[in-house]
Structure 1
Amino acid sequence: MSTTDPGTVERAFAAALYADDDTALDTGASLLAADPGTDAELARRGRELVAALWRRGWQPADVVRMVRRDLAEDHVRLVCDLILAEAGPRPGRQEPRTGPGAAAGGRRWAAQLAELEPAPPYRGDRFTRATVVLELYRLLLRLPALEPLHDPRPRPAAEDPGRGEPASRMLGRIRALLAKAEATGYPEEAEALTAKAQELMARHSIDEALLASGGRGGGGPAHGGPGACRIGVEPPYEQAKAVLLDAVARANNCQAVWNEPFCFSTVVGYEAELEVVELLYTSLLVQATSAMTRAEAAIRKAGGRRRTKTFRQSFLAAYAHRMGTRLTETTEHQIAEAKAETDGEVLPVLASREAAVRAETDRLFPRTTTTRLRGVTDEEGWRQGREAADRARTGRAPGLPGR
């Protein structure tokens, strides 16, 4: 039976984890590679590092995003294994054993775990493997604390029978419309599908607010307040992407706070709005990128100059700016319709939820700053991006059935 000197792991960690140079890393990796009995202890230490990150406010998707940004695919596979091992047995991939997700319903947490796949058995040499382990652990150890997030607690099914199924059907329709908009090769069709999706989103949000407040057959006051989720905002053109996400969030009664160093924005809002913000942002990003690619191809075909990074940054910034206006117009139109249908009942409900979202944002982020959008200097890129956003109109789409 293989045994290990209990000091081997400690000596390797002391040599490699708290230094930045490759020599220290090689020393630590050599110690571990020479002692096969360290494997179980290394895995245990890795699970402890992951559990400590949960206590510091990190979530599975956040950790994987940082490892993918700063390290290599071998490190990503290793951290996925550690996260899955730390979560423990998950029949049917249900919610995790530990971490804040378990205390707040854990739906998003469980969804993040469900996206991870165990890595195949490692077949390389021990020194290379030990180097990967130490590089990963060095990164995990140095990640700072984040604001702890909790999923909004949903109403128990017993208190609100039948409510989940209509909401699920509505979100299914929205997903289907956006998927078609992303897949079609015809810009006009994509515009109409996206417009209908935003209309459904706005109406879904209003209906959820009325139900939670006791209107339209709701069961009384809401059982929970706003929650928050993190959405990746990664290079390239991350500033323009952050502006687009902010525009989508504001149009859907949410607030977004961008964390540039860690490549995500935190979106604060009620559960119904959080879901549609993530759906619409992801879809619009796909559509904007496709429109930008088509614009560049058309310019090249016409013999124009080769497009640059500033063209793309300007295109996406203009798209985000104009899209924010269009989304807000659609939401305001839906609120006006709901106001007429409810004799104004909807207005204080929405105002109350808006105030709650602001208060939760201020609690999570008592100190925020604004940043100036950089690199928006290409006039042609700005014009093309604005026109692309105008084509993706967000009012009622002609030729599509009403809600």
Structure 2
Amino acid sequence: MSRQQRAGSSTRPDKDEVAARADDLALDGVRALMGGSVWALDDAVVDLVTLAHATGGRAVVEQTLTTRLRLALDERWRTGWQPMDLHHLVGRSARHVRAEPETVTRVVELLGDVMAADLAAYPRARVEQRWHDQLELAEASVWWSTTDSCLTARVGQWGSEAIGYEVALRLEHVLRSLPAMQQLGARPGEATSRSASTPVDVDDKVLARVRQLLAKAESTPYEAEAETFTAGAQALMARHSIDHAVLAASAPVGGDERPDGRRLWMETPYVREKVMLLGAVADANRSRSVWAKEDGYVTLLGFPHDLDAVETLYTSLLVQATRAMHAEGKRLDWRGGSRTRSFRQSFLAAFGARIGERLAEVTAAETAQAAEEMSAAGGRELVPVLQERTEAVESYVEELFPRVRHVSMSLGRDREGWDRGRRAADQASLQWGRAVGS
């Protein structure tokens, strides 16, 4: 090898040097975002692009940025975050750094890629099914060739290294700025065969029937008919929950269920009223709800099958309530000004309050009938079984939220809205108990 060749080869940095330089520049970019300096961010992006082209190390630069994102994501997993939590909040947080809408969309897309790549690195049995379900809901998957990084694939799709590198830095900034949350379930890689599997089940045809009833409730234009279908669905879910509780209680030692938790992100407007409705549905299904007001989400706590019932019924009721509310049209005050917002707040609050009463009646009736049937059959007493599960849920709430506060919530000030809301929830001549589910 000639002297010139040796000298030329020594001037090109090796992969480790390129990676180290890319890491330093990425850190500069993230710090620029933390300090609110768009100019410093632009400088970091330009330097990264220059480094990628000048050294022929584009793949190294992009792998370095991807690795930083994976490390930031792992920090979030360890502080309680799950895929749908990040999917919901990252878009909101990205807006706080004043990104253009198109950039916000790209940040969310890259987040999905990083999450999909991270979960794919674990054995399937070591990740709870809920994580994969949430990835599917976020429409995230490994769609690129595994010989490249997800960032390299996105750069090719977006047609610009500068765009891709800026998006990566913005995403890392958002991930590193998120606070800790309560840990719900096992983290990726830590699931056991028990936690990754589905608990002992009752006939899935029950839940299929529930979904059919709720679909009918959402599609009918008649409020009375919608309420009848909803009550029927609740009666079926109440019986399903009772049957499952008895089955779980009779399972062998070590096979018993434990309370779990899920987070639901609340969308504006009328968040307070939606939280009230969710709380009413949770109470009727032997679950609890904790509202993180400043962060915009509710944590549901209960046994898995009860949480299924809460999520399903709450969604259906919210659709029905919203449809009935909009059917009322707008409202004006005596001066001709709009009072539509106050009317709708009171409408939804009243709807939720009355629905809570009705769901409680359905659950109480179904529980009483089930207890009578079990007693007549000489089986285990139902009340102690349900009481044990209630106590387990309450203990779980205290474990996760030792400083939770119970606060009173306004039920609205618009008298007409209140009356109309209760009427929307109270029009039907509902059938209670087993007859509804027949």
TM-score by length of 1: 0.84
**Aligned equivalent of 1:186, options 202, 211, 222:** 222
Quote the Cα distance in structure 1 between the aligned partners of 2:275 and 2:417. Answer: 18
Conserved in 2, the CA contact under 8 Å of 1:178 and 1:280? yes
In structure 1, the partner of 2:118 is 86
2:299 counterpart of 1:266: yes
Aligned to 2:181, the other structure's residue is in SS state coil
Give the C-alpha shift of residue 305 in structure 1: 7.2
- With over 3 angstroms needed to count, the CA separation of the structure-2 counterparts of 1:76 and 1:275, relative to structure 1, is same
Q: Deviations over 1:132-173 (max 9, x none)?
A: 2222211110111111111799979x999xx53x43221121
- With over 3 angstroms needed to count, the CA separation of the structure-2 counterparts of 1:380 and 1:47, relative to structure 1, is same
2:313 counterpart of 1:280: yes
Quote the Cα distance in structure 1 between the aligned partners of 2:166 and 2:294. Answer: 25
- With over 3 angstroms needed to count, the CA separation of the structure-2 counterparts of 1:267 and 1:402, relative to structure 1, is closer
**Aligned equivalent of 1:391, options 427, 432, 435:** 427
Q: Deviations over 1:374-397 (max 9, x none)?
A: 582322222222222223676439
In structure 1, the partner of 2:84 is 61
Aligned to 1:333, the other structure's residue is in SS state helix
Conserved in 2, the CA contact under 8 Å of 1:326 and 1:393? no
In structure 1, the partner of 2:43 is 27
Give the C-alpha shift of residue 188 in structure 1: 2.8
- With over 3 angstroms needed to count, the CA separation of the structure-2 counterparts of 1:188 and 1:135, relative to structure 1, is same
Quote the Cα distance in structure 1 between the aligned partners of 2:348 and 2:422. Answer: 9
Quote the Cα distance in structure 1 between the aligned partners of 2:40 and 2:211. Answer: 50
- With over 3 angstroms needed to count, the CA separation of the structure-2 counterparts of 1:29 and 1:371, relative to structure 1, is farther
2:73 counterpart of 1:50: yes
TM-score by length of 2: 0.78
Aligned AA (1:78): L
In structure 2, the partner of 1:378 is 414
Give the C-alpha shift of residue 261 in structure 1: 2.7
2:367 counterpart of 1:335: yes
2:130 counterpart of 1:114: no
Quote the Cα distance in structure 2 between the aligned partners of 1:401 and 1:380. Answer: 31
Determine what percentage of the aligned residue pairs are the same residue. 36
Give the C-alpha shift of residue 235 in structure 1: 1.9
Aligned to 2:262, the other structure's residue is in SS state strand
Conserved in 2, the CA contact under 8 Å of 1:314 and 1:381? yes
**Aligned equivalent of 1:295, options 316, 328, 334:** 328
Quote the Cα distance in structure 2 between the aligned partners of 1:63 and 1:248. Answer: 25
Aligned AA (2:42): D
Q: Deviations over 1:350-384 (max 9, x none)?
A: 11111111011101100012345358232222222
Quote the Cα distance in structure 2 between the aligned partners of 1:31 and 1:392. Answer: 67
2:357 counterpart of 1:325: yes
Q: Which sits farther off after the overlay, 170-179 or 120-129? A: 120-129
Aligned to 1:231, the other structure's residue is in SS state strand
Quote the Cα distance in structure 1 between the aligned partners of 2:436 and 2:414. Answer: 39
Alpha-carbon RMSD across the aligned residues, in angstroms, is 3.2
Q: Which sits farther off after the overlay, 196-205 or 67-76? A: 67-76
- With over 3 angstroms needed to count, the CA separation of the structure-2 counterparts of 1:69 and 1:314, relative to structure 1, is farther
Q: Which ranges of structure 1 fall in alignment gaps of 5 or more residues?
A: none
Give the C-alpha shift of residue 401 in structure 1: 6.0
2:48 counterpart of 1:16: no
Give the C-alpha shift of residue 16 in structure 1: 3.1
Conserved in 1, the CA contact under 8 Å of 2:355 and 2:425? yes
Give the C-alpha shift of residue 184 in structure 1: 2.5
In structure 1, the partner of 2:208 is 172
Give the C-alpha shift of residue 307 in structure 1: 5.2
Q: Which structure would you say has the larger Rg?
A: 2
Conserved in 1, the CA contact under 8 Å of 2:280 and 2:352? yes
- With over 3 angstroms needed to count, the CA separation of the structure-2 counterparts of 1:294 and 1:124, relative to structure 1, is farther
Aligned to 1:13, the other structure's residue is in SS state helix
Quote the Cα distance in structure 2 between the aligned partners of 1:262 and 1:10. Answer: 32
2:345 counterpart of 1:313: yes
2:164 counterpart of 1:129: yes
Conserved in 2, the CA contact under 8 Å of 1:68 and 1:76? yes
Q: Deviations over 1:312-353 (max 9, x none)?
A: 222212211221111111111111111211228111111111
Aligned AA (1:348): P
Quote the Cα distance in structure 2 between the aligned partners of 1:57 and 1:168. Answer: 31
2:271 counterpart of 1:238: yes
Quote the Cα distance in structure 2 between the aligned partners of 1:148 and 1:128. Answer: 34
Quote the Cα distance in structure 1 between the aligned partners of 2:259 and 2:117. Answer: 31
2:173 counterpart of 1:138: yes
Q: Which ranges of structure 2 fall in alignment gaps of 5 or more residues?
A: 1-11, 53-57, 95-103, 144-152
- With over 3 angstroms needed to count, the CA separation of the structure-2 counterparts of 1:69 and 1:397, relative to structure 1, is farther
2:162 counterpart of 1:148: no
Conserved in 2, the CA contact under 8 Å of 1:213 and 1:220? no
Aligned to 1:228, the other structure's residue is in SS state strand
Conserved in 2, the CA contact under 8 Å of 1:194 and 1:394? no
- With over 3 angstroms needed to count, the CA separation of the structure-2 counterparts of 1:392 and 1:280, relative to structure 1, is farther
